[in-house]
């Protein structure tokens, strides 16, 4: 049997109609398919004109609008600070009431997303770039080979898998996640396109123009041959000093490879960043102990991604890309 709060609109209509006809509550309950107590409570509530129970709110709509304005102006303040500012505006309410009103307005405390710091000039350039690229077709974007470097660490800080443990096992070595002050790391260069991913390059030194050109010569060109063959391609890279150096631009011109125009400070538009995130998420569970194990894990994960690309088996439900250049369209155009 349903409770009064669970009555459907049809049941409530049936109860009201039969009650006006003078039917007994037993008959009404049978016709409506609910308990007799539910019928009785609904009839009594309608007779008394009671729409809801509970104490009247201690704050007015105007005071609630003041709170909403305070939250929007200071979204990074905690509940205590917001409550103090709200009461300073002449509102008499407790900290719990402040928190409850914020929840009623739809506010939730969440970890903020991290985005590049942009000035107005950079924003305008990003907007102009998006407008210029918004009409790009899938065939045009499939010619673009996205590439970038990424740093991989053995320790992932607070990220990583959770652990199942019993009470008193918090210090059990089996339940601990190790941390070091200066974790070993490796710098990796990789490339991807609608045709799949290319070979990885593990960098041993700081990336300057000379090192980057060696990477292009020994890894980018083989990746282009692997992914495109004799077809035309467009290389994508960000505006890091090694990428935007005059010698690097000359290298691309000498090899006849066009470079995609790219707005400054825009790593969030690069599809390969999504791929790095996928790889880092998957290697968290491997827990490598040194740099060589970390490299082996990255290679193994990258090899799996290569087979997924060639088979077209990317799945967004598994936090993977549905199709490589689908994200290029989404992140690159909008």
Domain range annotation of the chain:
4-48, 61-104, 125-333
pTM to 2 decimals? 0.60
Sorted by sequence, the CB contacts under 8 Å of residue 129 that are 6+ apart come out as 261, 262, 263, 266
What average pLDDT does the structure give for the chain?
80
pLDDT of residue 3: 45
pLDDT tens digit sequence for 226-257: 888 888 899 999 989 999 999 999 999 999 99
**Which residue, among 197, 233, 136, 200, has the nearest Cα to 321 in the 3D structure?**
197
Indicate whether 93 pLDDT > 70. yes
Given the candidates 3.40.30.10, 3.30.420.10, 3.30.2310.20, 3.10.129.10, the CATH classification of the domain at 125-333 is 3.30.420.10
Confidence of residue 306 (pLDDT cuts 50, 70, 90): low
According to the model, what pLDDT value does residue 53 have? Answer: 62
Higher pLDDT, 18 or 3: 18
Q: What's the whole-number mean pLDDT along residues 267-280?
A: 86
Q: Is the pLDDT of residue 201 over 50?
A: yes
Measured between alpha carbons, how far is residue 30 from residues 2, 16, 20, 24, 112 in Å? Answer: 12, 14, 16, 10, 53
Higher pLDDT, 97 or 181: 97
d(CA 196, CA 217): 19
Q: Is the pLDDT of residue 309 over 70?
A: no
- Strand-pair partners of 153: 185
What does the alpha-carbon distance between residue 282 and residue 280 come to, in Å, rounded to a whole number?
A: 5
For 332, the token pair is 């690159």
Residue 312 has pLDDT above 90, yes or no: no
Relative orientation angle of helices 9-20 and 36-48, to the nearest 10 degrees: 80
Angle (nearest 5°) at CA 278 between 137 and 245: 65
Model confidence over 58-90: pLDDT tens digits? Answer: 889 999 999 999 998 888 888 999 999 999 999
| DSSP-derived secondary structure letter, 218 | I
Q: How far apart are CA 322 and CA 334, in angstroms?
A: 18
Distance CA 221, CA 147 (A): 12
pLDDT at 268: 78
In the numeric block, which tokens belong to residue 265? 């400070």
């Amino acid at each position: 049997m349903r409770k009064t709060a669970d009555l459907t609109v049809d049941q409530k209509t049936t109860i009201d109609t039969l009650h006006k006809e003078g039917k007994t509550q037993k008959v009404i309950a049978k016709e409506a398919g609910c308990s007799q107590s539910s019928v009785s409570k609904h009839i009594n509530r309608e007779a008394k004109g009671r729409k809801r129970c509970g104490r009247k709110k201690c704050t007015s709509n105007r005071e609630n609008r003041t709170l909403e304005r305070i939250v929007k102006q200071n979204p990074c303040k905690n509940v205590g600070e917001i409550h103090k500012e709200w009461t300073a505006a002449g509102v008499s309410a407790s900290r719990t009431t402040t928190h409850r009103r914020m929840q009623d307005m739809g506010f939730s405390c969440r970890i903020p997303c991290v985005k590049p710091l942009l000035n107005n000039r950079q924003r305008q350039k990003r907007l102009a770039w998006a407008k210029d690229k918004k009409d790009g077709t899938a065939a045009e974007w499939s010619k673009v080979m996205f590439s970038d470097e990424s740093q991989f660490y053995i320790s992932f800080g607070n990220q990583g898998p959770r652990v199942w443990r019993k009470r008193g096992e918090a210090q059990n070595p089996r339940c601990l996640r190790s941390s070091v002050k200066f974790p070993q790391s490796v710098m990796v260069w990789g490339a991807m396109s609608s045709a799949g991913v290319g070979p990885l390059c593990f960098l041993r030194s700081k990336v300057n123009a000379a090192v980057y050109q060696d990477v292009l010569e020994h890894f980018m060109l083989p990746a282009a041959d692997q992914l495109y063959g004799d077809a035309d391609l467009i290389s994508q890279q960000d505006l890091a000093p090694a990428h935007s150096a005059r010698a690097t631009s000359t290298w691309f011109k000498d090899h006849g490879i066009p470079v995609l125009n790219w707005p400054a400070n825009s790593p969030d538009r690069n599809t390969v960043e999504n791929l790095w995130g996928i790889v880092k998420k998957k290697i968290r569970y491997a827990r490598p102990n040194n740099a060589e194990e970390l490299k082996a894990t990255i290679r193994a994960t990258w090899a799996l991604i290569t087979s997924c690309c060639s088979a077209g088996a990317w799945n967004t439900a598994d936090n993977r890309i549905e199709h490589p250049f689908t994200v290029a369209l989404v992140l690159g155009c909008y």
